[in-house]
Chain A
Amino acid sequence: MSLATLKRQNHTLGSPEGQMEQLDDVESINIQSFTSRLVEIGLFPLKPTRIDILQINVGKMCNQVCKHCHVDAGPDRKEIMTRETMHQCLEAVANSSIKTIDLTGGAPEMNPNFRWFVEELSALGKEIIVRCNLTIILANPTYNDLPEFFKKHRIHVVSSLPYFSARRTDAQRGEGVFEKSIRALEMLNAVGYGKTDSSLQLDLVYNPSGAFLPGDQAGLEQEFKNKLKDGYNIEFNSLLAITNLPVSRFLEYLVNSGNYEMYMSELANAFNPSAAMGVMCRSTVSVGWDGYLYDCDFNQMLELKVKAPDHISQFDLTDLTNREIILNQHCYGCTAGAGSSCGGTLTE
């Protein structure tokens, strides 16, 4: 199964303007605006607490075209971070209080400067997360040694596996993805990732394969651990349950399947003030492939640049910590139920 990206289709919801028009309209779906909800609980304007994570999107190119992808990533996307922009990222974080660098894409490994960038970040002593889609490890022989490379730099690997069966995983991520993901997990386990006697961290990301919210993270983690161990002898550390946000391809899916109104109501009804207090945009800054800065990866895809000097070449943690975070209805995805972030749920 090969899908074209929304951009390639010239789809209305492939553009930030088309998505914002859809998200701005709260009246036709009869929900309260996210901003007014934050006003009610005294959290508006929303500002950062302490920024210690820099999430860097090194490019939109990917070997997969997942149906829910908020990046609209795929093989035809050519937006790739240059080495010059990577140098600017390194300068920005070198003497800063940023502790963690979270590398994402696309498939970040497809950036030709990926390994050089990781080596430079590693030399700075930063904790490095790589959001690896698993199948990239098997996509080409030049990627087969990625598990060893990750191990060498003690990368924290975070990988999407939406379900422990082929049917639901392949329906979301493409035919054959589940089987390849299992083989890639075996390769990661083989070098020590996810093993109980190892400190190499391998986390899996669960996100629902449709228009429903994720359940309890701990319960899902136990179920994944049992099924993957019993069925495939796979081990991992933690399961991060992430809510799908109505952005890009998942938004298009919701609208086209007639689930948009129901899903948005469900998100809005599940608004949790405790989760709102801890949303990831309060501790993270997101960098786009071209060096522009955003409140999060979702605002990046909506091209909502930060309300502060907005390029990595102007990186100033004081200005960024004092900024006002840009909000819209997609933010309900991070505050529903137990909350959601790139690190999983936000509350117990």
Chain B
Amino acid sequence: MESTYYNREDLKKFGDISTFQKKLGDKFFDYYDSVFEEGALTAREKSLIALAVAHAIQCPYCIDAYTSGCLSKGADEEQMMEAVHVSAAIRGGASLVHGVQMMDQVNEKLM
């Protein structure tokens, strides 16, 4: 069997985390299910947010799960890619905004 850090089959076993700690696992999944219900945001909007976050945290399980989730909920390819760009923009912006810290340091240290 191929040995990798990530195994696609593990996604199906996500629910098994409750085996070692049922009470906390059950609480987590109850909360998780509630989060993704229709609310002030639609289920489709929540899936698109989840897809963007999945790319930000670079979780391959989440990317698979929310690609399917977005398709099921009727999101189109443009919406999904725009969500990924939101993720990229925030990640890129988060690096770049620290450039101000760098500039401050530079200004402090240089004559």
Contacts and interface: CB of A to CB of B under 8 A. Distances in A.
Contacts of B44: 215, 219, 223
B35 interface: no
A195 interface: no
Describe B's contact surface by its main secondary structure: helix
Interface size class of B (residues with CB under 8 A): 10 to 19
A264 B71 CA distance: 17
A210 interface: yes
Nearest to A209: B71
Contact of A216 (B12, B43, B71): B43
Contacts of B74: 206, 215, 219-220, 223-224
B82 interface: no
Given A163-B76, A167-B77, A168-B76, A219 B42 contact: yes
B68 interface: yes
Interface in A247-295: 265
Interface in B1-25: 12
Contacts, number: 34
Contacts of A206: 74
A219 B76 contact: no
Interface string A216-236: 100110011000000000000
B43 A214 contact: no
A216 B38 CA distance: 10
A213 B72 contact: yes
B91 interface: no
Interface of A: 163, 165, 167-168, 206, 208, 210, 212-216, 219-220, 223-224, 265
Interface of B: 12, 38, 42-44, 68, 71-74, 76-77
